[in-house]
Amino acid sequence: MPTVVDCPTCGKKVEWTEKNKFRPFCSERCKQIDLGAWAEEKYAIPAAAPADPLDDDKQ
Ligand-binding site membership of 30 (annotated): yes
Q: Quick one: CA torsion of 29, 35, 36, 41, rounded to 10 degrees?
A: 150
Ligand-binding site membership of 57 (annotated): no
Detail the DSSP E strand segments found in the chain: 3-6, 13-16
Ligand-binding site membership of 26 (annotated): yes
Ligand-binding site membership of 4 (annotated): no
Which residues are annotated as part of the binding site?
7, 10, 26, 30
Residue numbers belonging to the annotated binding site for Zn(2+): 7, 10, 26, 30
